[in-house]
Amino acid sequence: MNISANATPAIDSTIYLKDYQKPTFAVEHIDLDIQVHADHTRVLAKLQMQRQSAGELCLLGRDLQLVAVRINGRALTEKDYRLDTEQLVILDAPEQLLLETEVIIHPENNTMLEGLYQAGDNLYVTQNEPEGFRKITFYPDRPDVLSVFTTRVEADKTFPVLLANGNLIETGTVGDNRHYAIWQDPTKKPSYLFACVIGDLAVLRDHYVTSEGRDVALEIYAVEKDIPKCHIAMQALKHSMRWDEEHYGRPYDLDNYMIVAVSQFNMGAMENKGLNIFNTSCVLADEAYTTDAAIMRVQSVIAHEYFHNWTGNRITCRDWFQLCLKEGLTVFRDQSFSEDLQSAAVQRIDDVAVLKAHQFPEDAGPLSHPPRPDHFVEINNFYTATVYEKGAEINRMMATLLGKEKYRAGTDEYFRRHDGQAVTVEDWIAALSAGSTVDLSAFLTWYNQPGTPKLEVRGHYNAEQQSYRLDFKQSLKAHAKYPDLKPVPIPVALALFNPHTGEKYTLQHDALVENNQTEAVYLFDQAEASLEFKGIDQAPVASLLRNFSAPVNLDFNYSDQDLALLLQYENNGFNQWQATQTLLERILLNDHPAQIYFDAITATLPSIIARDPLLASRLLDVPSESYLGSRIDEHYQPEMIHEKREALLNQLAKVLGEQCKTIYLSLDPATEKDFSQAMGVRALRNIMLSLIARQGDLSVFELAAQQFKDSQNMSERLGALKILVWNNASQAQDALAAFYQQYQDEALALDQWFLLQASHPEADVQSIQALTEHPDYDLKTPNRIRAVTGGLNAHPVHAWSFGVAHFIELAAYLDEKNPIVGARLLQSLSRWYTLAEPQRSTVQQALQQLQSKVQSKNVVETLNSMLAV
């Protein structure tokens, strides 16, 4: 018997949340034996199963070559089962059975990086979320089937490291050249959390004693030369373990915790039980090789995957529609962790910037979907900014509303009720409500609806009555697939400033849910409502949505002068930043005069630099061209935005004048003891370099060349290299070559080298082609692909012209080789229909042509949605 299940999958199948049915069989125990050979891998599985409800015994499996199947020791023949490209259905299955299967798979040819795959010469790893396990063996591969796993891994001795989840219980040899290890995971888990690693890797060890006294062995595996770059991740891991004990009362539950760094990986990292697998870009960190932003990201991803141990693993999702249950909550947790790590305001600024740059546009285009969708074709297409980032915002809103203590009581109740279960968003809201004694059920609407609500607020001052009234109104754009849109609960954090003194008024009103005198939260949960404050002796400057208390588009009748005053008066760093961003958006998109902005920034900058260089660096942000473009719904002309933004930056450079060089020379990252502040100083110095370059002062190239030569820090080196390369300085080619020379064996640094050139302001078809023809360009490594696409996306003018062909060609190739990555690349073109003609039609035709060629569910579903506008 030798049946191959290999044909192309059907493409039509939409799956609906309303069709959810409980699993028919439970798996009490699974015993896996994975034998890796150079040209195939043999997988033997024994499943102890027990019927739970009526229905067929259906085992999912894809691209598996079935060698044998037995039930309770009896070999089955073809009339005992049905086999197609997606599943193995056992006919007349008994109530209780031991199911044994033997299959052959080919990880050595697996380019999709899903299931078990070879990731370079000396390494095999798994990626099973969401549906990779069915590419390893036949199994009820769904998150609500939890089982106890025992795993035997066998390979050649040239792969000394053999890992799987849980505890190592046995090792031994097979003949002269092979060896094996047996691992037992004591906790029940869904198949998507299964992992194994077979490779030639070195390890960094440490340990951590939990609040319960458990001594946990910590191990980070990477190739030998990268081990010195694992210390920051190790510290972050220990820090995360402590943080989860202190903030959520959650200690770790196993005796070991392993992390494996892999360079060929589709996304950031994966929270497999006790055996996380990470993209190298999210674990390796060293100031000499890694930018400050990347170091911050490593720490947040380490925390994210660690936090999944409770929010995701111990309590998992009933079905994949509930993905944001684990992701939204875990992102909120990692964001809170990072706020404790560096400046809370700057972390919030960075997180909101990501939300607005990615989630808002996604939610305003054809790929818009609720955080919890009610249907999908390919679940891999729903690992989106909406599920992750908007999901996090929903949890943040509830936490803001509850305050620390009640929120903690709510999460305690969630863990008490659901530990060991596979649950839904409703279960989360119910537990949080019960524990906190606050009814949060209205927040379910946030999970079930697409679109960014528009929050319109008008402030009215009545001098006679000394009262100030705020009129609130919320609305959502109609959505074809989700017609039934309701108002959502919007927590509005607010303060009122006296325009002359900058003092905050005391706020008194019964409708305020949280109120510590001058800072309060108002819960706006109707279509329209008003709020009136008494005892306000001047027309105040209202600061709304402080700390970005809800993921909405705020439309408030601030004057530009009000925004300038907020930059000066606000003690909430986030709202200071937001004031500058709103002002700049008005200047760049609505032709407001820029002078108020220049006056405000020159007046406040010196003192903020002295006090908080990191915050100062963010206050100099100018919204990116792609963000500005995403705010335009029709007749979008990328060149126009580009020209306006360039003009503003040139003007800013002129206004700041000599100050730029003074600031640059006065700051020294080496004298900053605190990493955050050093990071701020480095960012400020790089911003100043770019402004000096805009002043046409050629001495900037000497400064940059010096910085490039003197510094051992990657943020400083790259910042300097950018100035040289992007301005075509005479030193540029030598510096680029030197950088390549130094880092050619450092894949992540080389990604930066590709990114920097792909984002050259004058990049063109030829320069991009030269990069993709470079010997180090590698289509098997998503990080390298994204270095070039990321560079293109940094310039909408490029992305929407010659970039389109690059995206389309890549997507056509990846459709077959790696459809997960292929579909994701296309998402950045989702707002094509907003372009002005003739560009709009050109891009449309290119997408339509691609649509006629592609096969994978991933790319087909993405293109179908994108073109259905």
Catalytic residues: 305
Nearer to ligand TRP, 667 or 747 (CB): 747
Tokens of 107: 């990880």
Question: Nearest 5°: phi and psi at 164?
Answer: -150, 180
Nearer to Zn ion, 414 or 524 (CB): 414
At residue 61, what is the residue type?
G
d(CA 823, CA 856): 9
In this structure, how many other beta carbons lie within 10 angstroms of the beta carbon of residue 306? 26
Q: Hey, which residues between 382 and 441 contact ligand TRP (CB under 6 A)? A: 383
At residue 820, what is the residue type?
I
- 131-153 burial, b at 16+ Cβ within 10 Å, e below that, comes to bbbbbbbbbbbbbbbbbbbbbbb
Contact residue for ligand TRP among 33, 63, 129, 131 (CB under 6 A): 129
Q: How far is CA 803 from CA 185, 754, 764, 843, 847, in A?
A: 47, 15, 9, 10, 13
In this structure, how many other beta carbons lie within 10 angstroms of the beta carbon of residue 514? 16
Nearer to Zn ion, 127 or 759 (CB): 127
Nearer to Zn ion, 330 or 707 (CB): 330
- Taking CB atoms, the residue at the shortest distance from ligand TRP is 267
Q: State the minimum distance, in angstroms, from the CB of residue 308 to Zn ion.
A: 6
Count of residues touching ligand TRP (by CB under 6 A): 11
Q: State the minimum distance, in angstroms, from the CB of residue 330 to Zn ion.
A: 5
d(CA 604, CA 568): 7
Q: What three-state secondary structure class fits 23?
A: coil
Q: State the minimum distance, in angstroms, from the CB of residue 555 to ligand TRP.
A: 33
Nearer to ligand TRP, 265 or 753 (CB): 265
The CA-to-CA distance between both ends of the chain, in Å, stands at 49
Q: Which of the listed partners (Zn ion, ligand TRP, none) does 334 bind, with a CB threshold of 5 to 8 Å by partner kind?
A: none
Contact residue for ligand TRP among 226, 253, 292, 327 (CB under 6 A): 327
Nearer to ligand TRP, 271 or 751 (CB): 271
Binding-site string for ligand TRP from residue 348 to residue 387, where x marks contact by CB under 6 A and - marks none: -----------------------------------x----
Nearer to Zn ion, 135 or 304 (CB): 304
Contacts (Cβ under 8 Å, ≥6 apart) of 811? 822, 823, 825, 826, 850, 854, 859
The gap from C-alpha 389 to its chain's centroid, in whole angstroms, comes to: 7
819 preceded by cis ω (within 30°)? no
Nearer to ligand TRP, 292 or 305 (CB): 305
Q: State the minimum distance, in angstroms, from the CB of residue 320 to Zn ion.
A: 13
**251-254 LR contacts (CB < 8 Å, sep 24+):** 251/210, 251/211, 251/212, 251/214, 252/208, 252/210, 252/214, 252/216, 252/309, 253/187, 253/214, 253/309, 253/314, 254/166, 254/167, 254/186, 254/187, 254/216
Nearer to Zn ion, 330 or 335 (CB): 330
Q: Is the dihedral of CA 55, 60, 65, 71 positive or negative?
A: negative
Which of 545, 119, 615, 627 is CA-nearest to residue 358?
627
Nearer to ligand TRP, 154 or 185 (CB): 185
Which residues sit opposite 164 in a β-bridge? 196
Nearer to ligand TRP, 208 or 383 (CB): 383
Count of residues touching Zn ion (by CB under 5 A): 2
Q: State the minimum distance, in angstroms, from the CB of residue 808 to Zn ion.
A: 30
Nearer to ligand TRP, 265 or 569 (CB): 265
Instruction: Look at strands 96-105 and 87-90 and give their pairing.
Output: unpaired
Contact residue for ligand TRP among 101, 126, 127, 187 (CB under 6 A): 127
Tokens of 640: 């126009």
Q: Hey, which residues between 16 and 35 contact ligand TRP (CB under 6 A)? A: none
Contact window for ligand TRP (CB under 6 A) among 142-150, 263-271, 683-691, 766-774 = 263-271
Q: Which of the listed partners (Zn ion, ligand TRP, none) does 383 bind, with a CB threshold of 5 to 8 Å by partner kind?
A: ligand TRP
Which of 327, 315, 187 is CA-nearest to residue 257?
187
Q: Which of the listed partners (Zn ion, ligand TRP, none) does 270 bind, with a CB threshold of 5 to 8 Å by partner kind?
A: ligand TRP
Q: Hey, which residues between 62 and 121 contact ligand TRP (CB under 6 A)? A: none
d(CA 6, CA 784): 29
Q: Is the dihedral of CA 577, 582, 588, 591 positive or negative?
A: negative
Q: Hey, which residues between 264 and 323 contact ligand TRP (CB under 6 A)? A: 266-267, 269-271, 304-305
In this structure, how many other beta carbons lie within 10 angstroms of the beta carbon of residue 50? 11
Q: State the minimum distance, in angstroms, from the CB of residue 94 to Zn ion.
A: 38
In the block, which residue shows the tokens 């004058």? 762
Nearer to Zn ion, 391 or 453 (CB): 391
At residue 451, what is the residue type?
G
Burial of 353 (0-12, 13-18, 19+ CB in 10 A): middle
Q: State the minimum distance, in angstroms, from the CB of residue 265 to ligand TRP.
A: 6
Q: Which of the listed partners (Zn ion, ligand TRP, none) does 278 bind, with a CB threshold of 5 to 8 Å by partner kind?
A: none
Strand order of the β-sheet with 467-475 is: 528-534, 467-475, 454-462, 553-556
Contact window for ligand TRP (CB under 6 A) among 221-229, 261-269, 485-493, 756-764 = 261-269
Binding flag, residue 233, ligand TRP (CB under 6 A): no
Percent helix, strand, coil in the chain (nearest 5)? 45, 25, 30
Strand order of the β-sheet with 269-270 is: 202-209, 215-222, 256-262, 275-279, 269-270
Q: State the minimum distance, in angstroms, from the CB of residue 195 to ligand TRP.
A: 11
Instruction: Look at strands 467-475 and 490-497 and give their pairing.
Output: unpaired
At residue 712, what is the residue type?
Q
Q: Hey, which residues between 329 and 388 contact Zn ion (CB under 5 A)? A: 330
Q: Which of the listed partners (ligand TRP, Zn ion, none) does 280 bind, with a CB threshold of 5 to 8 Å by partner kind?
A: none
Q: State the minimum distance, in angstroms, from the CB of residue 687 to Zn ion.
A: 32
- 109-130 burial, b at 16+ Cβ within 10 Å, e below that, comes to ebebbbbbbbbeeebbbbbbbb
Q: Hey, which residues between 300 and 339 contact Zn ion (CB under 5 A)? A: 327, 330
Q: Hey, which residues between 699 and 728 contact ligand TRP (CB under 6 A)? A: none
Q: State the minimum distance, in angstroms, from the CB of residue 267 to ligand TRP.
A: 3
d(CA 330, CA 333): 5
Q: Which of the listed partners (Zn ion, ligand TRP, none) does 267 bind, with a CB threshold of 5 to 8 Å by partner kind?
A: ligand TRP
Binding site for Zn ion (CB under 5 A): 327, 330
| Positions that interact with ligand TRP (CB under 6 A) | 127, 129, 266-267, 269-271, 304-305, 327, 383
